[in-house]
Structure 1
């Protein structure tokens, strides 16, 4: 029986290994997840090139920005998709990458957007988890339940609205993620002051961001540092809201994540 089981798993591994791997965002499979309450969430998932279902892999949860919301199950990979799926990165950092898509007019996390010129975003201290983010967490749990996830190496990253969602989800589940990389995001500072988890943070922001005030990331960095959290911050002079281009180009963007367990 043991020999038969071994043959079965080898066959599965061979089946996955011969599946077409494009080395870009086309390698992400299109999926839809139905939460326990019936809510349907579109998402894309990337398996490592030589994925084998009897092994456990790191997981990267990627949260896109507000501009990529919708129902096409494609736009969420516009920024970052090719980077995560490149042959080089999947060879050095094989991981299961999960990229959900937030529907139009909804948000990953709760915050008040500025309505007038000069106003700033407001992040509440206490707010219920959004229905979309609740489905994202349930989706992640479903992959963990399959036994294919190395639960010591679960990472989360996101840009803009996704950077805010990154802070939000880590604060809600402080012992789930090994590392988090919010890009041009923001968070309620009281929540960060009270953060007691072991998640390491690498924060990125453009100094001339005209959409999300860079001060949010500066304050998040100082607050987490005072709270004794493992945190680093990189700011890009002269860069506007597209600081994800700079962050994704960092030579240690993925390497830094994978150093944490």
Structure 2
């Protein structure tokens, strides 16, 4: 099905120059990013089954008595896996810690980190990758990693002044696959979901419960997770009457999170959503 032009990011000729700018900005601003990421407190969550998961947690700069705040759960991609409790902030950490965002959108932000050989939603990476038939099954038990994420999320909510009508989930790449998975399994938990360069089993989107709002991003030349996955997810959600927006980034490969994070309305759209 052909998508309406309004769902495709404009300024096609400008995009390659913008991407070079984003890449240069990231390199030049690395020290500032490290400084901003220090605002995230470090922790290690241990389950009753003795599984552990490192995480970083950002809190509002000041907590007002009686006020509750939104919470964002951010699921990183495969390149940020590890045990250093640092790498998961590489893509997305400064979105919430830059001074403007801290002032305009006080919130809690949770960045768990997955082990270097693990996958959020799958036992292992599909042998054929994502370029052939959709390798994501509709019915499969939740992984222990997402069980741990859900338990950690519940703990953070219970221990902090969180507005439970404004809990959001963002994922990139492997984390975007897990974003769809979490919303499918816990349809009444999230007010909004942002999936960037992700994929899902379309039957799940056709049967999805709850009222989570979606915004999907994908690069049109993604050679890791093809763009058709986000197009199909958008169409399935749109046909179901869900609140969904799809932004396809012309000229972007498997890195559409850079232009996505730099959109002026990235955070404003997110924090407008309420369950």
- TM above 0.5, one fold? yes
From the superposition, tell whether residues 52 and 107 of structure 1 become closer, same or farther in structure 2 (CA, over 3 Å). farther
From the superposition, tell whether residues 174 and 258 of structure 1 become closer, same or farther in structure 2 (CA, over 3 Å). same
- Give the length in aligned residue pairs: 240
Residue equivalent to 1:78: 90
CA distance in 2, matches of 1:37, 1:116: 31
Cα displacement string for residues 110-157 of structure 1 (whole angstroms, at most 9, x for unaligned residues): 275243795355111011111111111000101222251100000000
Please list, as runs of the form range in 1=range in 2, the aligned pairs for 1:31-180 lying within 5 A after superposition: 31-52=43-64, 55-110=67-122, 113-115=126-128, 119-180=132-193
TM norm structure 2: 0.83
Counterpart of 2:187 in 1: which secondary structure?
A: coil
Preserved CA contact (<8 Å) 2:237 2:244: yes
CA distance in 1, matches of 2:150, 2:234: 25
CA distance in 1, matches of 2:194, 2:137: 21
Preserved CA contact (<8 Å) 1:48 1:90: yes
The reply to whether residue 215 of structure 1 matches residue 257 of structure 2 is no
Deviation at 1:84? 1.4
TM norm structure 1: 0.88
Preserved CA contact (<8 Å) 1:24 1:83: no
> What stretches of structure 2 of length at least 5 have no aligned partner?
1-33
> What stretches of structure 1 of length at least 5 have no aligned partner?
1-21
The structure with higher relative contact order (CA 8 Å, sep 6+) is 2
